Amino acid sequence: MLRHFGVLLLPLCFFLVDPAWGSDEFEGRRLYPTVKWIALDDLHTRRGDVEVVDVRSRYEFETLHITGALNLPIGEPGFGEQVRTLRAGSGKPIVFYCNGRTCMKSYQAVLAAEKEGVQDVFAYDAGVFDWVKRYPDQSEMLGQSPVDPARLIGKEAFAAHTLSPEAFEQRISAGTLVLDVRDRYQQEGTSLFPAVQVSVPLDNKALKRYVDQAKREGRTLLIYDAAGHQVRWLQYYLEAEQVPAYFFMEGGAKAYYDRMIADLIGKKR
């Protein structure tokens, strides 16, 4: 039966697109009017007839994803080639997804795939969080399924564990353990607190050593990334490990450097 929104029709490779529908709720549908999309329940209905691809970072994917999805991070080199390889091995339509309604990566993945000559590609733009809430038994968190939707971390819970750059720096003491989880390209040979911090990859196996140390010694973890976004996903691991005390730097290293520059300009004036 034909619906008004993002639904699969027969044949499967045809999706109805009404760019005007939900333009306020799904801003990406207005910004990317040529991208074909599929709605939450329609994706669930046709789950076995499509290839579902998570285009977020590997760490985000390993933290939370749709069961059975493939991970092809759009931010890594070779994305187009990987999509072509996937299409060569499967005749199914490809559906890309990312975090949610304000995330544009699913739309961008469709355009990138089409640029590579791959057709029958679509965006599931409601994202992973809406999927987990509706279909927890077909979701995975930290390798476990089903997922309890109550474990999804909202903005308030994240904000409760963030400190301004000033407060973060003032909190550093013998009773804390400072971790820089930026990758080596983001670090560019620099560290904010070279005398006290440890640089560690954003990888739960690598992080476990320091998480265990903090718990064993009763120390507070102080953690920063490049811009305050990646640590949102690290919070799931810290909660799963029942870390009693941890804080992130709001805005990450970028906010710290911005503050330093503002201070220098202020002094010069």
Structure tokens at 238: 């810290």
Contacts of residue 1, Cβ cutoff 8 Å, sequence gap at least 6: none
For residues 108-126, average pLDDT? 97
The reported pLDDT for the residue numbered 185 is 81
CA pseudo-torsion sign 210, 215, 219, 223? positive
Structure tokens at 269: 């004036």
Whether the per-residue pLDDT at 146 is higher than 50: the answer is: yes
| Model pLDDT for residues 84-105, shown as the tens digit of each residue | 999 999 989 999 999 999 999 9
Higher pLDDT: 183 or 233? It is 233
The reported pLDDT for the residue numbered 243 is 98
| Domains and their CATH numbers in the chain | 27-148 (3.40.250.10), 155-268 (3.40.250.10)
How many CB atoms are closer than 10 A to CB 258? 12
